[in-house]
A and B are shown apart, each in its own frame.
Chain A
């Protein structure tokens, strides 16, 4: 089979599954789950076949396979749907379908008995379709289309338990915040299109290679606007507020969408359209004061600030899923920072490894929550190590990977990011600080929630979930260990046309490579992690009943716990502007739209309709007369 055909199959399978479940099998939850799992499993197999079909994963720089079908061609109008297969999208395909498969399997156990079981799997399939669409998109318009679809399916899944007001609100918040970013994204796409006359990634790349200034005076603005889309999806400061609330969704959803795949779409998009950002600084008239600042600088700093803020917030959370959510935010900030430092390959590498261990951590958290009957407060846990051994050990693997301890995968990808920031001392220091904080809050979580003694009676009844939930944990743990020295880094560096420092000297050499080519970053990163761990050990190692940190830090701890009051700040901001706008809109709606336009037209049309209906008397003679009269009038008009 041709690789193009396989790519189309991968894309369409989940959509089919969503359609079949929605239309036919809603009443048979077991069957729905099997269809959904089957679709993603087939897509995973097809992705593997696709990669093997090339004979190698390493497509050289610039090597790619494009396929497009003309969606519609009438006269001069033609709309294409294009897919693009290259090393980067292949890796993403493997990751999205692989992690997706694990989480689908896990969900079968986790969602057991939920009245919306079928709806859950239909939404999950819809999400897979949209995410694969983003991965395979060959142009901005198609990416935007699937971007919006991902937003919709995320909305459906965050609000899955829509009878809970908090879930419904969180879904709304996520959707609206994302819309804000998407608006910028769309404006950016339009700017690129009007400057270059194309939205195709390859054409854009060609045009910008020939003339880096082709985007004109709006170059940096267009970059920042497109980045706004990524800020929404990848929850970057200041649009980060939706992600922690999104944890209201079922835990497998948090793992798949709000940790491993969707939130990473922003980073993927940045890497995919990297050429647009990698141009000399150019601002239009009104924004001259930004002279010299490139779009990449903006991206790097937004990413850095997000990673630091989120890490600080994570330190004082007590909800297990929220801790992981802030950690996701922080890691996304890392990736964005790497792109901003002109090393998109490092960002992508971290994206891929992060997907494995963060999905693992979330699923582990899900298994704990499941065992404790939906208790999410870590201060009511403790002593789970002996009761949930598989969960504990896999969670520990995930934690070590996230903290960047060698030889776990996170070490290699985080090292790449720190190495990327080495030339910018301030960002480098910020990255190290975040690395330390990460180790601190993650081991705080491990010591408080998993080790020590039970703090709540419920813990004593906890037991491991069934094998459908344990096997995904084990497999993801394996992936979290191995993803680091599998050669992804080299593949990604190839995509962006950089020399790879793959030291082809066996796995040991690969494992130790970071110490060779970026010793400063590797050593400093390890040191920061060790420091964070030591701090966590000294504060929480003894298993305290309460968090000792607030006493030590005082008001700062409260700021961290209350997320630096961003939600409150936005609430005030929105209330003030919103009230003013709403007043105006209400007036316009009430008097202009509803009163004049709608009622006016409605009234006129209604009168027309009622008058015309009088013709329809039901009387046969009238009908016959009308028909004959009609013909007579027509004849008179035409022939006289």
Chain B
């Protein structure tokens, strides 16, 4: 057993516990610094993971092969840790305006982060389930953290009940898979995946597992919770849901369909394709009439989930690498958007698009960052979002030769992109071409947030202008998949 492989996860959990203890001695007005310290540590861990073991070389295993550190897990852990660091920065600023205890909020973010990282390394149904539950249960609290706000409580309850439902699907599916294969271990399932793929019971189990994971990624038909929960939760929670929780689902989908049972991915191409296409259209269409920014991003997250699933559905290495690149770009884009939205929501106490009116004058940095994020989400070159969509669609079209229906899905995806221009540019328009000249007082932006925004903007630009490095890393990360 090689405990050192769990280093980052253990550090995070230890840090969470240490923060809980520190809370007892640190005076209330200083507790925000605990969050800042956690953010710095998360960032340091991200750097460690990027140069850590397993990312470049052979996969390393621990706990009887139930825990794996390989390129795939390394790439996702870097994404999770970066997201965690930025979300913690956001939480520090957010906590400033809260009347209740804040340290627990930081600690829960750390625990959720540890869960996501465990999920990235899961090589066994049990580890996977426990990791996901760690994420989900933590999010129950994170979504309903503002106990004095009904919207937050409502979001918490909805997430709790629907999350429990999806966990039920998941655990039942796992049970059926175990029944069919006689093992929980991914490697042993992979060894006989060819025959298992034709096993009805195993198919049924995997379908339910897919349903449970699709809930995390917010894919049709398990997407209904997303807009409501996104809208009601505190902004840092929403940001973490949008990238972290979704990422945990995606890494498991990639592992299951790319490594454990690739035969099923091929068999289920029409299903995955259909789910992806409908998710894109559903998310894009529903976003049009939205006025709430967080809700708008909820729908946008459904559409983006669809794009990610396209990459997985192609059952090719190029497609999987595109998924990884897509998420890396989505990471910076969504975080930039939520940093701005959180600022606006806190200062103006509304997240209606009209609140952005004249933001260009009130806080040029916020307006520029949000505009860049929206343009990147819309997929305009040369930003991160463009290359994500481009790479996914390229992988899709390359597969078109073997299965012409892929072209139809590419068409659907492009229609989705075109529709999405509408509401993304609606946000930009509200900031730069306000319909009325309302309040034009300057909005102060704390320096820490400025730094976080600068990092995100740099990420959006860097991935768009020089996609090479990350693309190479993504290709290396999926090299071990059985596709």
The interface bits of chain A over 609-640 (1 if a CB of B lies within 8 angstroms of the residue's CB, else 0) are 11011011010101110111111011101110
**Which residues of chain A are within 8 angstroms of B227 by Cβ–Cβ distance?**
616
Partner of B467, one of A72, A606, A613, A634: A72
Q: Judge whether B285 and A74 touch: CB under 8 Å.
A: no
The distance from the CB of B35 to the nearest CB of chain A, in whole angstroms, is 24
B268 at the A interface (CB under 8 A): yes
B27 part of interface (Cβ distance < 8 Å): no
Complex-state Cα separation, A75 to B368, whole angstroms: 33
Say whether B473 faces chain A, with CB atoms less than 8 Å apart.
Answer: no
Find residues 590-621 in chain A having any chain B CB closer than 8 Å to their own CB. 605-606, 608-610, 612-613, 615-616, 618, 620
Q: CB-nearest residue of chain B relative to A609?
A: B288
Are the C-beta atoms of B221 and A631 separated by less than 8 Å? yes
Using Cβ atoms and an 8 Å threshold, which residues of chain A touch B224?
615-616, 622-623, 626-627
Chain B residues 179-221 with CB under 8 Å of chain A are: 200, 203-204, 207-208, 211, 215, 220-221
A493 to B275, CA, bound (A): 67
List the B side residues contacting A608 at CB < 8 Å.
285
**B window 236-285: CB within 8 A of A:** 268, 271, 275, 282, 285
Q: Give B226's nearest chain A residue, CB to CB.
A: A616
A633 and B221 contact, CB distance less than 8 A: yes
Q: For residue B466, which residue of chain A has the nearest CB? A: A71
**For the complex, is A26 an interface residue (Cβ under 8 Å from B)?**
yes
Residue from A26, A616, A630 within 8 A of B228 (CB atoms):
A616
Tell me, in angstroms, the Cα distance from A93 to B169 when the chains sit together.
66
Q: Which residues of B contact A423 (CB under 8 A)?
A: none
Q: Does B353 contact A (CB under 8 A)?
A: no
- In angstroms, Cα B165 to Cα A90, docked, is 69
Answer yes or no: A551 CB below 8 A from chain B CBs.
no
- How many residues in B have their beta carbons less than 8 Å from beta carbons of A? 48
Task: Report the minimum CB–CB distance from B417 to chain A (whole Å).
Answer: 13
Asked whether any CB of chain B lies closer than 8 Å to the CB of A73, the reply is: yes
Please judge, given known A-B contacts A609-B285, A634-B211, whether A74 and B271 are in contact too, CB under 8 Å: no
Residues of A within 8 A of B471 (CB): 74
Tell me whether B454 is interfacial, beta carbon within 8 Å.
yes
For the complex, is B286 an interface residue (Cβ under 8 Å from A)? yes
Cβ contact of A74, chosen from B161, B207, B391, B454, cutoff 8 A: B391
Task: Tell me if A627 and B215 are in contact (CB < 8 A).
Answer: yes
| Chain A residues positioned under 8 Å from B211 (CB to CB) | 627, 630-631, 634
In the complex, A23 has a CB within 8 A of chain B = yes
If over half of B's interface residues share one DSSP class (helix, strand or loop), that class is named, otherwise mixed; here it is helix
Contact with B along A282-311 (1 / 0, CB 8 A): 000000000000000000000000000000
**In the complex the two chains form, what is the Cα distance from A624 to B204 in whole Å?**
20
CB–CB B288/A638 < 8 A: no
Give chain A nearest CB distance to B298 CB in angstroms: 10
Interface of A is mostly: helix
- The 8 A CB mask of A127-171 against B (1 = contact, 0 = none) is 000000000000000000000000000000000000000000000
The answer on a CB contact under 8 Å between A634 and B215 is: no
Q: Is the CB of B364 within 8 A of A26?
A: yes
Q: Is B221 within 8 A of A605, CB to CB?
A: no
Residue pair B286, A623 in contact (C-beta under 8 Å): no
The verdict on A639 contacting B364 (CB below 8 Å), with A616-B228, A624-B165, A633-B221 known, is no
Within 8 A of A (CB), among B428-483: 450, 454, 457, 465-468, 471
**Nearest Cβ distance between residue B429 and chain A, in whole angstroms?**
15
Chain B residues with CB under 8 Å of A606's CB are 288-289
Closest to B267 in A: A638
Contact B364 A613 (CB under 8 A): no
A538 located at the interface, meaning its Cβ lies under 8 Å from any Cβ of chain B in the complex: no
The distance in angstroms between the C-alpha atoms of A622 and B224, with both chains bound, is 9
Residues from chain A with a CB closer than 8 A to the CB of B225 are 623
Cβ-based interface call for A70 (8 A): yes
Cross-chain contact B165 with A628 (CB below 8 angstroms): yes
Distance between Cα atoms of A509 and B143 in the complex (Å): 85
Does B166 have its Cβ within 8 Å of any Cβ on chain A?
Answer: yes
**Beta-carbon contact of B468 and A73 below 8 Å:** yes
Question: Of residues B166, B221, B419, B454, which shows the largest number of chain A Cβ atoms within 10 Å of its Cβ?
Answer: B221
Considering the chains assembled together, what is the distance between the CA atoms of A613 and B439 in angstroms? 32
Task: Please indicate the chain B residues that have their CB under 8 angstroms from the CB of A624 in the complex.
Answer: 161-162, 165
Chain A neighbourhood of B365, CB < 8 A = 23-24
B454 touches A620 (CB 8 A): no
A1-27 interface bits toward B, Cβ cutoff 8 Å, 1 = contact, 0 = none: 000000000000000000000111010
Chain A residues 51-103 with CB under 8 Å of chain B are 70-75
Contacts of B161 in A (CB 8 A): 620, 624
Nearest CB of B to A621, in Å: 9
Q: A24-B454, A637-B271 are in contact. List 20 more A-B contacts (CB 8 A).
A: A22-B368, A23-B454, A24-B450, A26-B364, A72-B467, A73-B468, A74-B394, A606-B289, A613-B289, A618-B228, A620-B158, A620-B162, A623-B224, A627-B166, A630-B222, A631-B211, A631-B222, A634-B211, A635-B207, A638-B203
Interchain Cβ contacts under 8 Å between A and B, 26 examples: A23-B368, A24-B365, A24-B450, A24-B454, A71-B466, A75-B318, A605-B419, A609-B286, A609-B289, A610-B289, A612-B282, A616-B224, A620-B157, A622-B224, A623-B158, A624-B162, A627-B166, A630-B220, A630-B221, A630-B222, A631-B207, A631-B208, A634-B211, A634-B221, A634-B275, A635-B204
Query: Which B residues are within 8 Å of any A CB, using their own CB?
Result: 157-158, 161-162, 165-166, 169, 200, 203-204, 207-208, 211, 215, 220-222, 224-225, 227-228, 268, 271, 275, 282, 285-289, 318, 364-365, 368, 387, 391, 394, 398, 419, 422, 450, 454, 457, 465-468, 471
